Structure 1
Amino acid sequence: METIGEIKSLPPLVRKQIIQAQRNEITEYHLYNKLARKARLQKNKELLVRIANDELRHYKIWKKYSGREVGANRWNIIKYFWIARIFGLTFGLKLMERNEEQAQINYREIGKEIPEAIKISNEENEHEKELLSLIEEDKLKYIGSIVLGLNDALVEILGTLAGLTFALQNNRLVALAGIIAGIAGALSMSSSEYLSNKSEGKTEGAIKSAIFTGVAYIFAVFFLVTPFLLLDSPWMSLAWAVFNSVFIVFLFSYYISVANDQPFKKRFGEMVMLSTVVGLISFGLGYLARVIFGIEI
């Protein structure tokens, strides 16, 4: 163990980073334990306790070099606890880990003074990520069904709204048609997802997959149709619906990028491009229908 003299001989920047790392460890220790007490699955509870114990062990190592007790960041405990409870354990904890990576704790720099820091860094990056990947929760288990529901709704309903806006130019009619098409689409997608899972022998999760797909579809429809119920101008309504579509894609792409460690920009760009192309095509078809059939409302 380092003596007090050796502790004081550490460069100020290194000492400051050690204290910050120590604060992170004790904060995560309390957070993981708090989440473990609320976990419904025994497997998740045991994993969270294991990670919490690792964090406490790291805290004690840093304390040996800082020579002081460091309190937890209470705000981070509350913030990430509720993020994890609302959006899922995996998302909440990986978001916390990602934000910590940007906390500018330079383990390489600390490692020049304390070789043990490299070992702790490796454990943080590998062991904890491995344990987090073992957590089980429906939000990630059925992520494919949610993607299917959201993507189909954004493409189909936005395209429908764009075409009807140009063809009818009447907000109430466009909203009514969008709601009817949305409900029919949600039921169709849910039943298709159920039958698809049944045909592949996934009987146990077929109903849940269908529910996640349908709920995601209805969620997207609600956000796309709402502007047509609140505004009078069909063009402003359509612009708001397009904004809502991009916003939903942004949020969900970010969620997947964090929870599943996938690239954000690529997924976001693909979904926005697909929705835009379909919307433009539908917009053009609506214009042609209005001209060819002489629709005036």
Structure 2
Amino acid sequence: MERKSLSPETRKQLIIAQRNEITEYHIYSQLAQKTKDPENAETLQKIAEDELRHYHIWKKYTDREVEPSQWEISKFYWIARLFGLTFGVKLMEKAENSAKVNYAEIGQEIPEATKIGQEETEHENQLIAMIKEEKLEYIGSIVLGLNDALVEILGTLAGLTFALQNTTLVALAGIIAGISGALSMSSSEYLSHKSEGNHEGALKSAFWTGLAYIVAVVFLVVPYLVFSSPFMALIASVIDSVFVVLVYSYYISVANDQPFRKRFGEMVALSTVVGLISFGLGYLVRILFNIDI
């Protein structure tokens, strides 16, 4: 039976869909080959096969080969390798969802397009949910470490900035407080998990909490080692804290399908309030004790 000719707009969308499918086929295939976990590798290969199958379905209608985007392959492959499979894959799927492919519109001319559209949103999401990554199992520990460091150390730096007005002393105090805080948070997290009977995950939870704490401390203290003006250093430190919250909130929102704006707003508001209170306390301490360094 002769196939009905496609409208120019539908044909254009099918070609875009073809390019998306063949590009993602190569990405998933490469990730499957490099993934050490056999279950993750099998899941990624299944998704790759789905993408290739969809590509050949669209090819029947467009009657043409479409080359994959080498830039997209390289970009998302390395994002997944550097920042984790779950983040890389979900970021790629978000990019695909924003592509100009309207399956409902295509379905008016090609009925099976509706089914493929459902597969893209349901079946692939189910497979992606099967990907297991250790770092995502300890998100709570990472959040705890980051949040505590941003609140406590930024508050400490803000208070000491006005009390001491000496970048070297403030940086030294921040480093000492940061290392002590990281060790304290790690040990608390370790004991907390041990008390719950989670002996296997206790050490890893402590590690991720401490690491997140130290990373935040580095971002907050570095400005005091760069700028000679304590107030310029404080402003830079606040900007750094917002940047850390921004990056991490975005990462979590993508990897765990959580609302970005709410998490980002909460963490920034909390850090800001504590910083302002500490800044005020530092001012009072300087006045009351007549500190002049």
For 1:293 and 1:230, the matched residues in 2 are separated by 28
- Shift in Å at residue 245 of structure 1? 0.3
User: Are the aligned partners of 1:189 and 1:213 in contact in 2 as well (CA < 8 Å)?
Assistant: yes
Aligned partner of 1:218 among 214, 221, 227: 214
User: Are the aligned partners of 2:159 and 2:280 in contact in 1 as well (CA < 8 Å)?
Assistant: yes
- Shift in Å at residue 109 of structure 1? 1.1
For 1:157 and 1:129, the matched residues in 2 are separated by 39
User: Are the aligned partners of 1:2 and 1:65 in contact in 2 as well (CA < 8 Å)?
Assistant: no
Question: 2:248 aligned with 1:252, yes or no?
Answer: yes
Partner of 1:263: 259
Partner of 1:113: 109
1:70 alignment partner, SS class: coil
For 1:186 and 1:143, the matched residues in 2 are separated by 16
For 1:117 and 1:283, the matched residues in 2 are separated by 59
Q: Which amino acid aligns with 1:83?
A: I
For 2:202 and 2:127, the matched residues in 1 are separated by 27
Partner of 1:104: 100
Partner of 1:61: 57
Please give the residue correspondences for 1:128-277 in structure 2 after superposition, counting only pairs within 5 Å: 128-277=124-273
Question: 2:286 aligned with 1:290, yes or no?
Answer: yes
Q: Deviations along 1:59-112, whole A, 9 cap, x unmatched?
A: 111111111111111111110000000000000010011011111211111111
User: Are the aligned partners of 1:2 and 1:64 in contact in 2 as well (CA < 8 Å)?
Assistant: no
Question: 2:85 aligned with 1:89, yes or no?
Answer: yes
Q: Deviations along 1:209-263, whole A, 9 cap, x unmatched?
A: 1111101100000000000001100010000000000000000000000001110
**Structure 2 CA distance for partners of 1:213 and 1:249, relative to 1, 3 Å:** same
Q: Deviations along 1:237-294, whole A, 9 cap, x unmatched?
A: 0000000000000000000000011100000000000000000000010001001111
**Structure 2 CA distance for partners of 1:2 and 1:54, relative to 1, 3 Å:** farther
1:174 alignment partner, SS class: helix
User: Are the aligned partners of 2:16 and 2:100 in contact in 1 as well (CA < 8 Å)?
Assistant: no
Identity among equivalent pairs (%):
70
1:117 alignment partner, SS class: helix
- Shift in Å at residue 138 of structure 1? 1.5
Q: Deviations along 1:19-43, whole A, 9 cap, x unmatched?
A: 1101111111111110001111111
Partner of 2:23: 27
Question: 2:287 aligned with 1:279, yes or no?
Answer: no
2:107 alignment partner, SS class: helix
For 1:273 and 1:60, the matched residues in 2 are separated by 50
- 250-259 or 139-148: which moved more? 139-148
For 2:236 and 2:134, the matched residues in 1 are separated by 32
For 1:256 and 1:60, the matched residues in 2 are separated by 34
For 1:200 and 1:68, the matched residues in 2 are separated by 59
For 1:198 and 1:224, the matched residues in 2 are separated by 31
Number of aligned pairs?
293
**Structure 2 CA distance for partners of 1:2 and 1:110, relative to 1, 3 Å:** farther
- Shift in Å at residue 2 of structure 1? 5.9
For 1:82 and 1:174, the matched residues in 2 are separated by 38
Q: Deviations along 1:151-181, whole A, 9 cap, x unmatched?
A: 1000000000000001000000000000000
Dislocated runs of 4+, deviation >3 Å: none
Q: Which amino acid aligns with 1:97?
A: E
Q: RMSD of aligned C-alpha atoms?
A: 0.9
Question: 2:1 aligned with 1:14, yes or no?
Answer: no
